Amino acid sequence: MDLIKADLNAPHSMGTTIIGVTYNGGVVLGADSRTSTGVYVANRASDKITQLTDNVYVCRSGSAADSQIVSDYVRYFLHQHTIQLGQPATVKVAANLVRLIAYSNKNMLQTGLIVGGWDKYEGGKIYGIPLGGTIIEQPFAIGGSGSSYLYGFFDQAWKEGMTKDEAEQLVVKAVSLAIARDGASGGVVRTVIINSEGVTRNFYPGDKLPLWHEELEPQNSLLDILNSTIPEPMHI
């Protein structure tokens, strides 16, 4: 009883998988949807990809409270900046604002963020801002607890100049691989595609994701597991 109580009072954290990938013409951001308080899943359908401006979104990981507050502040500063500048903010400015807050408060904050978007000067850009507040512009970025399982996968599967559909399929596959192995990631896969034409949000429910090694089919009743057949392994 004590153990459970201690867990429920734990800060709301998002053991997460977040991914940002550039492609020929824009970016694709992807994330899982699990928010955990200790061992309890507080929200199994959370949206970790938050809007900063019309053309820039951020993927949040780490402490839920810290990342929500940081993105609120950045959205507010960017709104002011857009009014003062007279045109949409660039992805670089958005990422730098996030970095300024993350770095100045590095002792208090525990959140890793991936900023991605499209602007008319640089096109699609991804900036990773991990714990500590460094900013690094990358062709793709991964973050969160589930990202540990994806470094090798991206080394092998990432290539320059993908199309929009290739990039999105890569992101969905990667998040579902991380969900299969990381206990703190799960739920559904959400993706956001940002390019010159605008923003598209997609949703992949958990039971529609591919099954990996030794994973069972989704069941309506646990009793069905006794009668189900072992699924065939996926071929890449």
Partner 1 sequence: MEFKMAQAAAEVPPKGGFSFDLCRRNEMLSNKGVPPPSFRKTGTTIVGLIFQDGVILGADTRATEGPIVCDKNCEKIHYMAPNIYCCGAGTAADTKAVTDMVSSQLQLHRYHTGRESRVVTALTLLKYHLFNYQGYFQAALVLGGVDANGPHLHTIYPHGSTDTLPLATMGSGSLAAMAVFESKYHEGLTKAEGINLVCEAICSGIFNDLGIGSNVDVCVITKGHKEYLRNHQLPNPRTYVNSKGFSFPKKTEVLLTRVTPLEEKVEVIEGGDAMEE
| Catalytic sites, residue numbers | 16
Q: Within 112-151, which residues bind partner 1 (CB under 8 A)?
A: none
CB of 112 to partner 1, least distance (A): 15
CB of 55 to partner 1, least distance (A): 23
Q: Find out whether 124 and 25 touch, Cβ atoms under 8 Å.
A: yes
| Residue 11 in contact with partner 1, rule: CB under 8 A | yes
Task: Supply 235's token pair.
Answer: 């071929």
Please pick, from the candidates 3, 9, 159, 222, the single residue that binds partner 1 as defined by CB under 8 A. 9
CA dihedral (89, 132, 19, 38) in degrees, to 10, reads -120
CA distance 161 to 170: 13
145 vs 195, beta carbon nearer partner 1: 145
Tokens 């780490």 found at = 62
Three-class DSSP category at 180: helix
CA distance 173 to 154: 11
29 beta partners: 20, 192
69 vs 131, beta carbon nearer partner 1: 69
Please pick, from the candidates 2, 3, 5, 160, the single residue that binds partner 1 as defined by CB under 8 A. 5
C-alpha R_g of the chain = 18
Number of residues that bind partner 1 (CB under 8 A): 19
CB of 46 to partner 1, least distance (A): 6
Per CB under 8 A, which region of 1-9, 82-90, 161-169, 216-224 contacts partner 1?
Answer: 1-9
What mask of x and - would describe binding to partner 1 in positions 33 to 72, judged by CB under 8 A?
A: --x-x--x-xx-xx----------------xxx--xx---
11 vs 231, beta carbon nearer partner 1: 11
- Please state the separation of Cα 149 from the chain's center in Å: 14
21 vs 102, beta carbon nearer partner 1: 102
Sheet holding 189-195, edge to edge: 140-143, 18-23, 26-31, 189-195, 198-204
Query: In the chain, how long is the greatest CA-to-CA distance?
Result: 64
Q: Find out whether 21 and 59 touch, Cβ atoms under 8 Å.
A: no
110 vs 200, beta carbon nearer partner 1: 110
Chain residues binding partner 1 by CB under 8 A are 1, 4-5, 8-9, 11-12, 35, 37, 40, 42-43, 45-46, 63-65, 68-69
